[in-house]
């Protein structure tokens, strides 16, 4: 499996995805500061009070970050899965003396690992920069603490699993319809639905965990369905 994953990485334009990940990280830094500075723009607006503490700001940022990387992952999957399993690419793919299910799993695993690394790296950079500037020029009324850092790490891990799972589900939809746009649209819709649930559950870790587990189970089920469909595909000359 590891060798297949290495082969997939060598065949793909990883550098382009890395550049895209850097751009996303820069945008996420701006978004987090925008959330933190929001109460200063409208100091008399009671709705802005939610942006005054680390727990809420980190939660809101993480929800948006998950949606962005879910769609980002869907875009990568369109190359690794959707485009690879149609037309001449399919003929070339099935000419390799490799088990079809293992090949699919390698593709799914590569994108899942890439998404996880990108999200984790992005959040580590963003939170590190933000906490550093807060230590000498605070924006939030709250005080940054170890508890806030652990909360950020916990939410990040939950959102990574959610983003990976939802993007696999969207890929399954795109695979069935043999459509790249439907993969991305499905990713947008699924991440939006998950964001809505997560946004209203920021203070309830149990609901966040349940939503993550449901997404992970659905992603696992989609993987099994994809493996079965790939094993039944026939190459038409």
Range of the domain at 108: 2-232
Burial of 97 (0-12, 13-18, 19+ CB in 10 A): exposed
pLDDT at 8 over 50: yes
Q: Per residue in 216-233, pLDDT tens?
A: 999 999 999 988 888 776
pLDDT of residue 46: 67
> Residue 1 is encoded by which pair of tokens?
């499996």
pLDDT at 90 over 60: no
Q: Which range is least confidently modeled, 82-96, 140-154, 189-203?
A: 82-96
pLDDT of residue 4: 67
Query: Residue 98: inside a domain, yes or no?
Result: yes
Query: Residue 123: inside a domain, yes or no?
Result: yes
DSSP 54: H
Distance CA 126, CA 128 (A): 6
Structural contact between residues 179 and 82, judged by C-beta atoms closer than 8 angstroms: yes
How sure is the predictor about 1, in pLDDT bands with cuts at 50, 70 and 90? low
Query: Residue 224: inside a domain, yes or no?
Result: yes
pLDDT at 130 over 80: yes
DSSP 49: G
SS3 4: helix
Query: Residue 128: inside a domain, yes or no?
Result: yes
Query: Residue 67: inside a domain, yes or no?
Result: yes
Query: Residue 129: inside a domain, yes or no?
Result: yes
Query: Residue 237: inside a domain, yes or no?
Result: no
Distance CA 22, CA 17 (A): 9
Structural contact between residues 66 and 159, judged by C-beta atoms closer than 8 angstroms: yes
Element (H, E) at 111: helix 100-136
Q: How many domains does the chain have?
A: 1
Q: Per residue in 12-23, pLDDT tens?
A: 777 888 899 999
pLDDT at 237 over 50: no
Query: Residue 120: inside a domain, yes or no?
Result: yes
How sure is the predictor about 96, in pLDDT bands with cuts at 50, 70 and 90? low
Q: What is the mean pLDDT of the chain?
A: 83
> Residue 16 is encoded by which pair of tokens?
């382009």
């Amino acid at each position: 499996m590891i060798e297949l994953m290495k082969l997939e990485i060598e065949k793909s334009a990883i550098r382009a995805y890395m550049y895209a990940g850097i751009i996303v990280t820069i945008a996420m830094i701006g978004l987090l500061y925008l959330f933190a500075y929001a109460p200063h723009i409208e100091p008399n607006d009671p709705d802005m009070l939610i942006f005054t503490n680390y727990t809420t700001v980190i939660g809101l940022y993480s929800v948006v970050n998950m949606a962005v990387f879910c769609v980002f992952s869907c875009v990568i999957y369109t190359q690794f899965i959707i485009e690879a399993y149609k037309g001449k690419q399919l003929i070339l793919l099935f000419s390799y003396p490799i088990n079809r299910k293992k090949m699919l799993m390698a593709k799914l695993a590569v994108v899942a690992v890439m998404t996880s690394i990108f999200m984790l790296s992005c959040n580590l950079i963003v939170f590190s920069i933000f906490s550093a500037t807060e230590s000498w020029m605070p924006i939030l009324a709250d005080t940054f603490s170890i508890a806030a850092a652990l909360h950020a790490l916990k939410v990040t891990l939950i959102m990574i699993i959610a983003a990976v799972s939802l993007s696999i589900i969207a890929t399954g939809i795109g695979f069935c319809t043999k459509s790249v746009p439907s993969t991305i649209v499905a990713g947008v819709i699924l991440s939006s639905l998950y964001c809505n649930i997560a946004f209203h559950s920021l203070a309830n870790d149990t609901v966040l965990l349940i939503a993550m587990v449901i997404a992970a189970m659905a992603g696992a089920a989609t993987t099994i369905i994809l493996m079965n469909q790939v094993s039944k595909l026939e190459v038409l000359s």
